[in-house]
Amino acid sequence: MYVRRVNSHTPAIETPRHFLPGELVLSMEKELPSLAEETVRAVRARIPALVPALEDPCRAQIQAGVERALREFLNRLSGGPARLGEETADDCRELGRNEMRRGGNLEALQAAFRLAARLAWRRCIDTGSRMGIEPGLLYPVAESLFAYIDELAAHCAEGFSQAQLHAAGELRLRRQRLLQILTADTPAPLQTVTELALAAAWRLPQTVQVVAFSPARHGRRTAAPAPVLESVDALADFSGPDPLLLIPEPGPQHRPALEKYLDGRAAVVGPPVALEHAAVSLRWARRLLALGARGLGGTDTVMYCADNLMPLMLLQDEVLIRTLTARRLAPLAHLTPKQHERVTRTLLAWLQCSGNTIEAARKISVHPQTVRYRLRQIEDLFGSALRDPDVRFELEVVLRAQELFAAMEARRRRGTPRAARPRTASRYQMRDQSRP
């Protein structure tokens, strides 16, 4: 037997109805308090994301709600009303709303409902077994149980969505979803992107540029910069741990406006790319952001990938570049740190100046004779390999990388160079283009 359940909040659900023997219903009723307690305990143990939501005093309230929902299900199986009680539906919606307000996610809640269904079914089988009821007679009830759990989960999702729309506005959510799709590692079909852009009232550009901000600390959301870029319909998401901004049709003329918009906040501007490669711009921006946090770029609060292409290329795989460095600079392994620094500094200057001794001396501010003396030492160390153009190229690559590592380490020792500064509210009224 199926009962179609329809109300103004959730879509119609075909709920199968099967009935339990009366004696099993009575036995299961006695199990409900311990089953509700076991369910809450299992959710805390297996779904870490929900642990904060189950702290006292909320835990007792949620446990009571679980017991109420289970009791209503038993009542349904013993011939009671097929329609879900409004109190239980409200419990589920409030659970969803609270999880959204807490900054949680719907996936964790759905996992909790699935876990609750498994525990309830296992307890039903165990209880029936103790009473001598064949498991085969109970299997049809599983269909009713999981359909009932789906019904509860649907109300929970409804509450979650209500809170989302209330907190951010539907258009903003659509734009955040569009931004997620555009910057995902796996490109979405053009039709999907087009439909999302239309729903978000955002015109698809030919090229884009992604700005990455320092990650939020201690789970706190990062506050968005106050103004929206003048005359630029940018997509922004500051709700997650890794804030970002996507600028359509970027150009040099946007740089002053962008820096004014950022207002001294630490950020990295990715390279301009075609729309379908937005994820690439984000990836390089975040890579440079990570390097900047380690000292690359000094004290600049805003860094541009376009101005740091060589460092990005040299340091894109640090294990690889360090492996090549160890191999190419192996002849210097026995030198003292001071000797090593003098030799590598001189060798890099000589390579950068295409073997011009006078230019190399000027570059490192020493006498040309000093460079010649050191070069004789270098030739003794490297031998004929120094005449191989491939070796010279690799030497220049690893020496440039080593120079970057050394500069980053020096800045790190002086303190974190590009930590995000705390920002106060702007004195300017901001225009949020993601609001309807």
User: Which carries the bigger pLDDT value, residue 203 or residue 293?
Assistant: 203
The yes-or-no verdict on residue 343 having pLDDT over 70 is: yes
> Which residues lie across from 273 on neighbouring strands?
208
Locate 79 and state its tokens: 């011939």
Locate 428 and state its tokens: 């300017």
Instruction: Please tell me the pTM assigned to this model.
Output: 0.54
2-168 fold: Globin-like (1.10.490)
Average the pLDDT over each of 80-94, 108-122, 171-185, 409-423 and give the range with the smallest value.
Answer: 409-423
CA atoms within 13 A on the CB side of 138: 20
* Average pLDDT value over all residues in the chain: 83
User: Which carries the bigger pLDDT value, residue 389 or residue 56?
Assistant: 389
pLDDT bucket at 143, cuts 50 / 70 / 90: confident
Which strand (E) or helix (H) includes residue 424? none
Which strand (E) or helix (H) includes residue 2? strand 2-5
Residue 419: per-residue pLDDT: 45
Write the burial class of residue 320 (CB in 10 Å: 0-12 exposed, 13-18 middle, 19+ buried): exposed
The arithmetic mean of pLDDT across residues 166-178, rounded, is 82
What is the tens place of the pLDDT at every residue in 226-259?
Answer: 445 656 788 988 887 889 999 998 888 778 888 8
CA distances in angstroms from 374 to 90, 330, 338, 353, 364, listed in the order given: 81, 17, 13, 15, 13
Phi, psi of 40 (to 5 degrees): -65, -40
The yes-or-no verdict on residue 386 having pLDDT over 80 is: yes
The arithmetic mean of pLDDT across residues 6-14, rounded, is 43
Domain boundaries, the chain: 2-168, 173-301, 318-413
What is the tens place of the pLDDT at every residue in 346-356?
Answer: 999 999 999 99
pLDDT bucket at 128, cuts 50 / 70 / 90: confident
Residue 299: per-residue pLDDT: 66
Percentage of residues of the chain with pLDDT beyond 90? 45
